[in-house]
Amino acid sequence: MGCFHAIVRSLKSLEADETLLVQSGKPVGIFRTHEYAPRVLLCNSNLVGTGTIGTGFMNWTARD
């Protein structure tokens, strides 16, 4: 729940010419942009853990 509150605090402090960067549900930074830039940019990584790799996934990754 701490990340949620950190995002809310960050959003409340944004100036009109700033953008909040959120990566994997955590606020990373606030960058000076411009008034018409997006207020928030979300960056998420789609990782597949070793315990979830099955034959279907292996066949899919082997395709070109």
Encode the chain (64 residues) as per-residue pLDDT tens digits: 789 999 999 999 999 999 999 988 899 999 999 999 999 999 876 666 665 666 666 666 666 5
**Strand locations in the chain (E):** 18-23, 26-32, 40-43
Site of tokens 């099955």 = 54
pLDDT of res. 60: 62
pTM over 0.75: no
pLDDT of res. 24: 84
Task: Return the percentage of the chain with pLDDT > 90, whole number.
Answer: 55
Per-residue exposure over 27-59, b if at least 16 CB sit within 10 Å of its own CB, e if not: beeeeeeeeeeeeeeeeeeeeeeeeeeeeeeee
